[in-house]
Chain A
Amino acid sequence: MSRLIKVKDISKKTDRLYTLDPKDLPKLPYPYEDWEDPPYPEVAEIKRKGKDISLDGILNVPVPAPETDEEKERLVAKFLEGLKKLLTVENNWTFLKPFMLSIDNCVRCNTCAEACPIFEMSGRAEIYRPLFRSEILRRIIRKHISPGGKLTAKFTGSDIDLNWETVARLAQLAYRCTLCRRCAQTCPMGVDNGLIAREIRKLFSQEMGIVPAELHEEGTVKQLETGSSTGISPMALMDLIEFMEEDITERTGLNIKMPFDKAGADILLIHNAGEFLSWPENIEAFAIIFELAGLNWTMSSDLVGYDSVNYGLFYEDVQLARVTLKHAEIAKKMGVKKVVVAECGHAHKAIMAIGDRVWVDDVNIPRESCFVTLEDIIMSGKIKVDPERNNFPVTLHDPCNITRSMGIIQPQRRVIKKICPQFREMTPHGVHNYCCGGGSGFAIMQGANFPSWRMTIPGRKKFAQILGAFTKEEFDSGVNKYVCAPCSNCKGQIRDLLTYYDAWERSRILYGGLVELIVNCMTDVREGFIEWELH
C-alpha cells in the first residue's frame, strides 16, 4: 500500500494518508523471532479533538484541524510567511547556509533512504523516506517562493498543491525523524535531511506556535521559569540531594557531601535533571567518582543551572539560545574554570557545539565532555578499580549527538574496555551508530499513541542491535546483560524499549549509564552498586 503514495499525494483530502500495520514491520533477531506487535492504538476521541493526525494516525505534535476554509487559508498563508522568513538572513542566520545548501542541491538519488532506521524499520513506508519529507518542502519553496516557480513547476518536478493538508502533514512528518543525521552521513552531496526536518519544526514553532508541549510549554518554557523541565525547583533539588547523599551512604558505606555553588571551582558539573528523578544513582555515581578522585568540582543550584536539558535544540533557535545562554551566564557567575557536561547527549551538543556560537565574548567559558574527564580519572589511576566486579556481558550505545555530531568516540570506550572484561560493540557503532529511537525529544513524548510508534519503528532498530550484541549462549544461560547508555534521553528510550519488549524478564537485559559501571567496580566502594532490577 505504501508504495502507491507519491509526494504530491501529501495534499490529498483524506482522513489518513497512510495506515500503519504491524505486519509490515521487519522481524527481530534471536530470541525475538516470534515477537508480534499489537495493532497501533487509535488516538482517543477526546485527545484528537481539534487536531490533525491525517498523516498516519499518530499524535505527537498538536497540529490544529481548522473547521473553516477561511481558517485553513489563513494558516497556509502564515506557513508561507514563515517559510519566507526561514530563507532570510535576519530571521535565520543561525542555519541559513546549511539550510540553503541542503534545499538547493539534493540530486534525488535516495542513498539516504537506506541509512534511515525509521524508513527501514517501518517496512519501508514511503512517507518515512527521508527524501519524501524534504521533497515536499523543496517543491513548496520552488513553486511558491522562487521567482517563476509556478511556470517551471512541471519541468522541475515541483508541482505540489499547497493546501492545509500539505502543511499539516508536513508538520507531522517533521516529527517522524529523530534528527540522528545518519542520512546526511551517507549523502554523497552532503545534504542533511535531519537539518531540513529541524528547520521545518523551527518554522512551525517560531512562526505558528505549533510544537509538542513536551518540548515547549513543558520543556524550555518550564525550564526557564522553574529551573528545570522536570519541574524541580531549587528548593526541591536540595531535598533530592539530601536523599541521594543518604542513599550513597546506604549503598556504598561512603559519606559524600555533594558540593553546590562553590565559586571558583575547577569544574561545574551539569546534569540532565531527569537523572535526579529517574536515575539518582547516576548523580550519586558522579559524586562518588569526582570526590574520590579529589577533583575540585561543584554543581549549581541556580535556576536552570542544575538542568543541562535544552529541548530548544530539537525544535527552534530562540529557545535554544535562551537556555544555553542561561547556562553560560551561570558558569560565568560562578567563576568556574570549565563546565563538564554529564551523561546527556543533546546537552553535550547544545552546550559544547551549538554553544560554541552562543557562548561568545565574556561568557566563552571552556566546556568539556564528562567522558573525557572520566577517562582521565580512570587512566591516571586516581581511583582504583577491579574489573572482575563487572564480569558480565556489556555493550555500549552511542548517543548520536555525542558521536556523529561531535566526534567523541574513544574516551568512553577506553574507560569501558578497562573496566568491563566482557565488553562487546554493537554493529554498527561509534560514529556510524543507530539512534536509540528516542532522539529529537521523542524519548520524553509519552502522550496519545506515540509511544507505540516510537517503540516499534525507530526503537526497533536499536532493540535489534542490542539483541545482536549478545550471543545465543548468553541468552540461553539467562546471564545478566548490561546495555551502557551514557545519555539521559537514550536511557529513557532504552528503558521503555526493554519494558515494551519485556527484555528484562525474558532475556535478562538491563540498562544504565557509564558511571554506574565505574562505581560498581571501584575497590573503595562496597560491592553491588548496580542493582539488577528494571526501573
Chain B
Amino acid sequence: MLIQWVTYVSILIAIVAMIAKALRYMTAPQNFRWELYPVPHERGKAEYGGSYLEELDWWSKPRHSDLFNEVKEMMMEIFLLKGVFHHNKKVWLFSLPFHLGLYICIGWLFLLLLGGIMEAAGSAVVVDAGTFGALVHYLTVISGYVGLILAGYGALGLFFWRALDSNQKAYNSFAEYFNLLFFDVVVVITLAFHFGSDPSFAVLRGYVRSLVTFSPTAIPNVLFTLEIVTMSLLIMYIPLTRMSHFVAKYFLYHAVRWSDTPNERGSKIEKRIMELLQKKVGWSASHIQTGKPWSEVVKEMKK
C-alpha cells in the first residue's frame, strides 16, 4: 500500500496547491482598469482592436458582449497556442505538441480512472467487452501513446531550445531544465514499461482500480514502481511550479487583459472601491500622509 499512499498524497497536494493558487488570484482586490486591446468580446470591433469607447455617449447604450468570439479566442489560445504561433514560431513548434500532449494525457488519466471505476463495478474494459468497454479500452490506448509521445517530443524540443538558443540561455534557471527533463523521464519510463509489459494499460488500470477501491494490488516489477512514483511526483510537482500557469493565465486574461467592465453608480465595482479607499496607506515618501486612509490621502496635497 505504500506506493498507493505516494499517489494519494501527491494527488491531494496537487489539488490543494491548485485551489490555493486560484484563491490567491480570486481573492486579490479590485484593481484599476488595465485592459489591453484587442479584447475579443467587443462585438464587431474585436477584429481591429476596438472598444465600446468608440461609441458616442457610450454610457447610454447597451453593451453587447460577444461571448462566442471570446470562447473562440480562448479555444484558439488553449488548443492552438495562437499567441505563440503569431509571435514566436520557433517555440510554437515544440510548445504546441507539448501542450496538446499534456491535454491528451489528462484525458488519458481520466479514461484510466473511468476504466478503473468500471472494473471495480464489475464491467470489463477490453476489446470484446461490449461497445462502451471496448470504446474506453481503445481510447485509453490511443490517448496514452499519442499523449505521451507528443508531450515527450515537445518537452525534449523545449529543452534543446532553452539549452541552445543564444537569446534564451541566459534566462533559464536550473528548474526550467529540470522540469522539462522530469517530463521526459516520466514519459520514457512509462513508455518503456507499457511497450514491454502492458501495451493496453491494463496493469495501470488495475492500479487505478486499487486506488479507487482502497485495496492492495500487485506491483509487477521495478519499472512499474518507478512509473507510478515518478508520475505521482510529477502530478504533485506541477501545481507547485510555474508549469501550472494555466490557472494564472485565466486570471491574466479575464481579470486584467480583457476586463473592460465600466464602473457604474451603485455597482459592485464601486462598492469594492469604496471599501478599499478605507485601507490605510503605508507608503513613506514625503508627499504621502502615511497612516491615513486612501480616501483622505488622495484629497490632500503634500510635497
Q: Which residues does A use to contact B, with CB under 8 Å?
A: 3, 6-7, 81-82, 85, 88-91, 93-98, 100-102, 104-111, 113-115, 126, 131, 135, 154-158, 181, 184-192, 195, 205-209, 216-217, 221, 224-225, 317-319, 321-322, 325, 338, 352-354, 356-361, 364, 366, 368-369, 372-373, 375-376, 403-411, 430-432
Enumerate chain A residues within 8 angstroms of B274, measured Cβ to Cβ.
Answer: 360-361
CB distance from A366 to the nearest CB of B (A): 5
CB distance from B59 to the nearest CB of A (A): 5
Asked if B299 lies at the interface with its beta carbon under 8 angstroms from chain A, I say yes
- Check A110 against B53 for contact (C-beta < 8 Å): no
- Check A101 against B84 for contact (C-beta < 8 Å): no
Asked if B222 lies at the interface with its beta carbon under 8 angstroms from chain A, I say no
User: Which residue in chain A gives the minimum CB-CB distance to B256?
Assistant: A98
- Check A113 against B167 for contact (C-beta < 8 Å): yes
- How many A-B residue contacts, CB cutoff 8 Å? 263
CB distance from A223 to the nearest CB of B (A): 10
CB distance from B27 to the nearest CB of A (A): 9
- Segment of B42-50, B106-114, B142-150, B198-206 in the binding face: B42-50
User: Which residue in chain A gives the minimum CB-CB distance to B77?
Assistant: A188
Enumerate chain B residues within 8 angstroms of A100, measured Cβ to Cβ.
Answer: 24-25, 28
Q: For the complex, give the distance between the alpha carbons of A91 and B291 in Å.
A: 10
Enumerate chain A residues within 8 angstroms of B172, measured Cβ to Cβ.
Answer: 108, 157
Enumerate chain B residues within 8 angstroms of A338, measured Cβ to Cβ.
Answer: 57
Q: For the complex, give the distance between the alpha carbons of A325 and B301 in Å.
A: 12
- Segment of B183-191, B212-220, B260-268 in the binding face: B260-268
- Check B252 against A191 for contact (C-beta < 8 Å): yes
Instruction: With A195-B34, A404-B36, A430-B48 as known contacts, state yes or no: A188 contacts B256, CB within 8 Å.
Output: no
Asked if B13 lies at the interface with its beta carbon under 8 angstroms from chain A, I say no
Q: For the complex, give the distance between the alpha carbons of A105 and B273 in Å.
A: 26
Q: For the complex, give the distance between the alpha carbons of A192 and B36 in Å.
A: 10
Enumerate chain B residues within 8 angstroms of A368, measured Cβ to Cβ.
Answer: 53, 56-58
- Check B28 against A406 for contact (C-beta < 8 Å): no
23 A-B residue pairs with CB within 8 Å? A3-B166, A93-B29, A97-B251, A98-B31, A98-B34, A101-B256, A105-B248, A109-B168, A184-B36, A188-B84, A206-B285, A221-B287, A354-B32, A357-B32, A358-B273, A364-B270, A372-B56, A372-B58, A404-B36, A407-B35, A407-B54, A410-B50, A431-B37
Enumerate chain B residues within 8 angstroms of A409, measured Cβ to Cβ.
Answer: 37, 45, 48-50, 54
Q: Choose among B31, B91, B297, B301 the residue that contacts A109 (Cβ–Cβ < 8 A).
A: B91
User: Which residue in chain A gives the minimum CB-CB distance to B260?
Assistant: A407
Asked if B221 lies at the interface with its beta carbon under 8 angstroms from chain A, I say no
- Check A95 against B32 for contact (C-beta < 8 Å): yes
Enumerate chain A residues within 8 angstroms of B174, measured Cβ to Cβ.
Answer: 154-157
Q: Which of B17-76 contact A (CB under 8 A)?
A: 24-25, 28-39, 42, 45, 48-60
Instruction: With A155-B175, A368-B57 as known contacts, state yes or no: A318 contacts B36, CB within 8 Å.
Output: no
- Check B25 against A101 for contact (C-beta < 8 Å): yes
- Check B55 against A111 for contact (C-beta < 8 Å): no
- Check A110 against B168 for contact (C-beta < 8 Å): yes
Beyond the given pairs A95-B31, A190-B249, A318-B287, 16 more chain A to chain B contacts, judged by CB atoms under 8 angstroms and listed by A's residue number, are: A95-B34, A100-B24, A105-B252, A110-B167, A111-B88, A155-B174, A206-B285, A357-B31, A372-B58, A376-B56, A404-B37, A405-B36, A407-B42, A409-B49, A409-B54, A410-B50
Q: Choose among A205, A354, A408, A411 the residue that contacts B285 (Cβ–Cβ < 8 A).
A: A205
- Segment of B3-11, B118-126, B130-138, B276-284 in the binding face: B276-284
- Check A364 against B286 for contact (C-beta < 8 Å): no
SS class, residues of chain A in contact with chain B:
helix
Enumerate chain A residues within 8 angstroms of B285, measured Cβ to Cβ.
Answer: 205-209
Instruction: With A104-B248, A154-B174, A155-B174 as known contacts, state yes or no: A91 contacts B301, CB within 8 Å.
Output: no
Q: Choose among B83, B242, B263, B276 the residue that contacts A356 (Cβ–Cβ < 8 A).
A: B263
Enumerate chain A residues within 8 angstroms of B59, measured Cβ to Cβ.
Answer: 366
The 5 tightest CB contacts between A and B, nearest first, are A157-B173, A407-B51, A431-B49, A190-B252, A97-B28
Asked if B12 lies at the interface with its beta carbon under 8 angstroms from chain A, I say no
Enumerate chain B residues within 8 angstroms of A108, measured Cβ to Cβ.
Answer: 168, 171-173, 176
Q: For the complex, give the distance between the alpha carbons of A78 and B54 in Å.
A: 44
Instruction: With A157-B173, A409-B54 as known contacts, state yes or no: A91 contacts B91, CB within 8 Å.
Output: no
Candidate in A206, A372, A407 with the most chain B CB atoms within 10 angstroms: A407
CB distance from B177 to the nearest CB of A (A): 10
CB distance from A266 to the nearest CB of B (A): 10
- Check B53 against A352 for contact (C-beta < 8 Å): yes
Q: For the complex, give the distance between the alpha carbons of A218 and B242 in Å.
A: 42
Asked if B170 lies at the interface with its beta carbon under 8 angstroms from chain A, I say yes
Q: Choose among A221, A352, A372 the residue that contacts B303 (Cβ–Cβ < 8 A).
A: A221
- Check B54 against A411 for contact (C-beta < 8 Å): yes
Q: Which of B154-196 contact A (CB under 8 A)?
A: 166-168, 170-176, 178
Candidate in B42, B167, B172, B174 with the most chain A CB atoms within 10 angstroms: B167
CB distance from B28 to the nearest CB of A (A): 4
User: Which residue in chain B gives the minimum CB-CB distance to A108?
Assistant: B171
User: Which residue in chain A gives the minimum CB-CB distance to B161?
Assistant: A109
Q: For the complex, give the distance between the alpha carbons of A188 and B92 in Å.
A: 10
User: Which residue in chain A gives the minimum CB-CB distance to B166?
Assistant: A3
- Check A111 against B91 for contact (C-beta < 8 Å): yes
Q: For the complex, give the distance between the alpha carbons of A81 and B86 in Å.
A: 40
Enumerate chain B residues within 8 angstroms of A181, measured Cβ to Cβ.
Answer: 36
Enumerate chain A residues within 8 angstroms of B283, measured Cβ to Cβ.
Answer: 82, 85, 91, 206-207, 318
CB distance from A180 to the nearest CB of B (A): 11
CB distance from A398 to the nearest CB of B (A): 10
Asked if B298 lies at the interface with its beta carbon under 8 angstroms from chain A, I say yes
Enumerate chain A residues within 8 angstroms of B35, measured Cβ to Cβ.
Answer: 353, 405, 407
- Check A354 against B279 for contact (C-beta < 8 Å): no
CB distance from A367 to the nearest CB of B (A): 9
Q: For the complex, give the distance between the alpha carbons of A107 and B252 in Å.
A: 14
- Check A410 against B48 for contact (C-beta < 8 Å): yes
- Check B249 against A105 for contact (C-beta < 8 Å): yes
- Check B279 against A90 for contact (C-beta < 8 Å): yes
CB distance from B157 to the nearest CB of A (A): 13
User: Which residue in chain B gives the minimum CB-CB distance to A353?
Assistant: B33
Q: For the complex, give the distance between the alpha carbons of A352 and B42 in Å.
A: 18
Asked if B79 lies at the interface with its beta carbon under 8 angstroms from chain A, I say no
- Check B51 against A408 for contact (C-beta < 8 Å): yes
Candidate in A115, A191, A356 with the most chain B CB atoms within 10 angstroms: A356
Enumerate chain A residues within 8 angstroms of B256, measured Cβ to Cβ.
Answer: 97-98, 101, 190, 192
User: Which residue in chain B gives the minimum CB-CB distance to A373?
Assistant: B56
Q: Which of B211-249 contact A (CB under 8 A)?
A: 242, 245, 248-249
Q: For the complex, give the distance between the alpha carbons of A155 and B237 in Å.
A: 14
CB distance from B20 to the nearest CB of A (A): 12
Enumerate chain A residues within 8 angstroms of B166, measured Cβ to Cβ.
Answer: 3
- Check B25 against A156 for contact (C-beta < 8 Å): no
- Check B248 against A225 for contact (C-beta < 8 Å): no
- Check A407 against B50 for contact (C-beta < 8 Å): yes
CB distance from B173 to the nearest CB of A (A): 2
- Check B33 against A90 for contact (C-beta < 8 Å): no
- Check B49 against A403 for contact (C-beta < 8 Å): yes
CB distance from B70 to the nearest CB of A (A): 14
Q: Choose among B24, B87, B175, B251 the residue that contacts A156 (Cβ–Cβ < 8 A).
A: B175
- Check B54 against A372 for contact (C-beta < 8 Å): yes
Q: For the complex, give the distance between the alpha carbons of A42 and B42 in Å.
A: 49
Q: For the complex, give the distance between the alpha carbons of A85 and B288 in Å.
A: 14
- Check A325 against B299 for contact (C-beta < 8 Å): yes
Candidate in B88, B167, B171, B280 with the most chain A CB atoms within 10 angstroms: B171
Candidate in B24, B31, B274 with the most chain A CB atoms within 10 angstroms: B31
